[in-house]
Structure 1
Amino acid sequence: MEISAFYILIYTIEGFIFGNYAIRLFDSKFHWHLQVSMLFIFYSGLYLLSRLELSWSCNTVTFFAANFCFLLLMYRLTWYTALFHAAAATFLMGISEFIPYSILFSFFHSSGKPNDYFFSLVLLTAISKTLYFTFMTLLAHYEKRILDIPPDKTFFFLISIPIISLFLMLSLFFISENGNLPTFINCMISASAVLLLICNLLVYAADSYSKKRNQSFTELSLQLQKEQDATEYYKLLLRQNENQNILIHDIKKHINMISVLNDKNEPKKIAEYISLLIQSPALKESAHLCDREILDAILCRYQTRCREAGVTFHTDIRSGTTEFVTDTDMTSLFCNLLENALESATGTAEAFIELSVSHRENTPYTVLVMTNSCGSDPFVRHGERLPTSKPDKGRHGYGMKSVCRIVEKYHGEIQNYYEGSTQTFHTILTLRQEP
């Protein structure tokens, strides 16, 4: 029973080490929940096969095959890349088991009690897995440099922890093997070695989680800053429209001035005056799509972008439906939705985007419905997540997070679905206006 429980723990630790190695380096196809589930299935299979007491060569082959299949199924890798990393993990596993067992085997008491043998086995296995963890961490750091992933500034601090742990475990092993200690003390020493290994993994996991959260926070902060800048941009557009209205209002005066210059027979001055009027920023093209100024500027910009991309753009924004939404939230919400829709629709046959915003009668809810053409189902192989199609996936994908943040802020709901028969993507979003 003790041996079975111990081996279950060991295979769990091995799966944790390899899973974290893969997550750090590769782009996953699925949500992390599915990755953990598949890793559990593969390593549970390895544990069950180990109970059959197969030869070491068979165990090596099955370990390699499980890691290879896991990488190939869960990550966007070519088969030869998955083959290399599975082989590297298998080799490092073999080295990490060979070194401690071959060097320290002579310290076993040949006449010791069965319990002494078990405690020594636990100590050696803890040393072996700590060594495997160290090797895999070093390999991941080296691979990051090859893949041009930004280096981890805390790497040398983190790698020193398992190295120090190895020294402590070796010390515990020598104390246990060379001292005539009671069984209870041997049990505590073995448990201490295992807990020291687990602490290494927990420190590593906590550091990875903290860095991921910090990266997400940084990216969201940059996204918010970008949205604030966009808000200022659209406010500048509004001021431009205002200048245009002023110019139109004053057009009669300009015509009178041209008439005066004409009466004086000064064609050069007339040409210069007309040229100044034509080049005036106030005479740039303008349109009016809704009664909310900041939203009107956003829609006009995307109307122009759609026309340039060959995408038909239709809007139906009912009066007074967005007055309770702040300018910043308005910019963030509609820019992200329209940007994703334009990206999805571009290049499809008969590309179009339809956007409507209306008020649900007798309720405090505003309903936004957007439909756009989409060549393929974005949910396939991604579950409920909407993948980004941008090359640098690590720095994108925050647009929908920003949309969800706004929906939550206004106590609303969002629903997305893909209709295969018409190849269209639908977004239905509600926002609640507080009384």
Structure 2
Amino acid sequence: MPSFILFPLTFVCGTLVFCLHVEWRRSWRILAIPAFVIVCGLIYDPLTIWADSVENVSSLLVRALYYICCSVMFVAILRCCTRLTWLESLVTVVAGYAVQHLAVDVYALIDDTGWAQRNPDGPLERFMTKFLGVFIIVYALTYACIGRRRVVDDGKIRNRLVWVLVCAGILLFVITFSMLVVEDRSLETRLVGHIYDAICVALMLAVLMLVAANDRLYGDLAALRQTEQLARQHYEIARENIDLINIRCHDIRKSISRMADNRADTTTGDLLRQVEGNIRIYDSIFHTGNEYLDVLLTEKGLYCSGNAITFTCVADGRRLGFMDDTDVFELFSNILDNAIESAARMQEPGKRVVNLGVEANGGLLVIRSENYYPDTDVPKFSDGMPVTTKTDHRQHGFGTRSIAWQARKYNGEASFQASDGVYTVTVVVPIP
């Protein structure tokens, strides 16, 4: 492989290590990536020859400017070819450049120490003497450790300016440190410099990922808190509506009963009693022993009745006394909302069913929900958690995460399973 193509190619490959979760645009614009590799490669050799012919300071500035321009250019290309935002593209490119630089440090250490030359006939040594062999190992380890996760989520970033400054600082350090401290030094200085450089770059990558994870957790927590507040408001509204419905229906039923008793016409009396029987549906509220659960189950039961969904529930709400009332309402609301939404998509009337059970078993509270799901909409899972079927993943999927979060809040676990057309949610929490 021509030497001039190595830097842009390894740079691009290092960035692609972090692009597992990236959504690419299906268009001709993706050709900009190989074009970038070729153009940057063609410029590299002439620029290096010219930089070596000028003063040392000017040479450093020219080469640093070249690397910075390549990075900025690739940020624009990644933004154009993917669905990433500008900030997400910047962070991804900086992380890719850092990994590429880390691989260069590892190769330089192997080359300067002569480790591979001590047993040149060994298969590992022969592989490590190859430039690309070192990069493959470093990239594979990086992917296994951090590349499989999303680098940063623009929708959950708390301070964009800080991220831009951090990325600029990392990029400048990676570009200038080797040129200022390591190049054209003695062997001992180069070895120490490469080791220090590799450690610093690895720590920068770790900090970058930790800060990104912290921002994601902060964003998820803010969304969960908002969901909890909405659940509290939802409960108050639902309780008022159900109380109002029951008062009105109770009065109507009594009025119809008196009318039927005072009518001599048997047909009219039977008709009125039939109407009275229909109204009794609204007076059939749940009595599980937990007020918050009763309100929610009654509301969901009325919705299911109006949408031809069979809703069955066997629940001992008294066992929920150790949980906060708002947590009870939010937990069961998320479980039932997902189940009812899935059941409503079923075309077969016999499969428009939602089953819910709450029981105590051996000191454990077991909550179990079951519903059918369409064959065309089989749930997908990632790390044991279902992936939202909505197109906007940033604004959806908090329901299942909220279920798992609340289970862990009470030292329990939530599991999700899809098998034989039945979707099952099981929450197990120890009873204090």
Q: Secondary structure at the match of 1:372?
A: strand
Unaligned runs of 5+ in 2: 1-5, 54-61, 89-153, 259-279
Normalised to the residue count of structure 2, the TM-score between the two structures is 0.59
- Picking from 28, 42, 48, the partner of 1:104 is 48
Task: Please give the residue correspondences for 1:282-361 in structure 2 after superposition, counting only pairs within 5 Å.
Answer: 285-291=282-288, 292-318=290-316, 320-348=318-346, 349=348, 350-360=351-361
Normalised to the residue count of structure 1, the TM-score between the two structures is 0.59
- Picking from 73, 88, 91, the partner of 1:135 is 73
Is the Cα–Cα contact under 8 Å of residues 295 and 331 in structure 1 kept in the other structure?
yes
- Picking from 36, 42, 53, the partner of 1:92 is 36
CA distance in 1, matches of 2:204, 2:427: 45
Determine if the alignment matches structure 1 residue 224 to structure 2 residue 242. Answer: no
Deviates more, 1:202-211 or 1:222-231: 202-211
Task: Please give the residue correspondences for 1:180-259 in structure 2 after superposition, counting only pairs within 5 Å.
Answer: 181-187=185-191, 201=205, 204-237=208-241, 240=244
**Offset at residue 339 of structure 1 (A):** 0.5
Is the Cα–Cα contact under 8 Å of residues 169 and 193 in structure 1 kept in the other structure?
yes
Distance 1:198 1:322, change over 3 A: closer
Aligned residue type for 1:153: R
Is the Cα–Cα contact under 8 Å of residues 87 and 164 in structure 2 kept in the other structure?
no
Q: Secondary structure at the match of 1:20?
A: coil
Task: Please give the residue correspondences for 1:54-203 in structure 2 after superposition, counting only pairs within 5 Å.
Answer: 80-81=26-27, 84-85=29-30, 87-106=31-50, 132-140=70-78, 144=84, 153-154=160-161, 156-158=164-166, 160-161=168-169, 164-165=172-173, 168=176, 172=180, 176=183, 181-187=185-191, 201=205
Deviates more, 1:345-354 or 1:96-105: 96-105
Q: Secondary structure at the match of 2:399?
A: helix
Identity of aligned residues (%): 15
Q: Secondary structure at the match of 1:393?
A: coil
Unaligned runs of 5+ in 1: 1-6, 27-76, 110-123, 256-282
Q: Secondary structure at the match of 1:425?
A: strand
**Offset at residue 397 of structure 1 (A):** 1.1
Deviates more, 1:240-249 or 1:292-301: 240-249
CA distance in 2, matches of 1:430, 1:285: 32
CA distance in 1, matches of 2:70, 2:222: 33
**Offset at residue 106 of structure 1 (A):** 4.6
Is the Cα–Cα contact under 8 Å of residues 176 and 189 in structure 1 kept in the other structure?
no
CA deviations on 1:43-94 (whole Å, 9 max, x unpaired) are xxxxxxxxxxxxxxxxxxxxxxxxxxxxxxxxxx56x34x744x33333344
Deviates more, 1:401-410 or 1:163-172: 163-172
Is the Cα–Cα contact under 8 Å of residues 345 and 374 in structure 1 kept in the other structure?
yes
Distance 1:214 1:207, change over 3 A: same
CA distance in 1, matches of 2:310, 2:213: 43
Is the Cα–Cα contact under 8 Å of residues 310 and 351 in structure 1 kept in the other structure?
yes
CA distance in 2, matches of 1:325, 1:199: 41
CA distance in 1, matches of 2:413, 2:332: 15
Task: Please give the residue correspondences for 1:367-406 in structure 2 after superposition, counting only pairs within 5 Å.
Answer: 367-376=366-375, 378-380=378-380, 382=382, 384-406=384-406
Is the Cα–Cα contact under 8 Å of residues 311 and 355 in structure 2 kept in the other structure?
yes
CA distance in 1, matches of 2:331, 2:217: 23
What is the count of residue pairs matched by the alignment?
325
Q: Secondary structure at the match of 1:290?
A: coil
CA distance in 2, matches of 1:205, 1:93: 27
CA RMSD of aligned residues (A): 4.6
CA deviations on 1:330-358 (whole Å, 9 max, x unpaired) are 11111000001011111212311111223
**Offset at residue 234 of structure 1 (A):** 3.8
**Offset at residue 372 of structure 1 (A):** 0.8
Aligned residue type for 2:385: R
Aligned residue type for 2:160: K
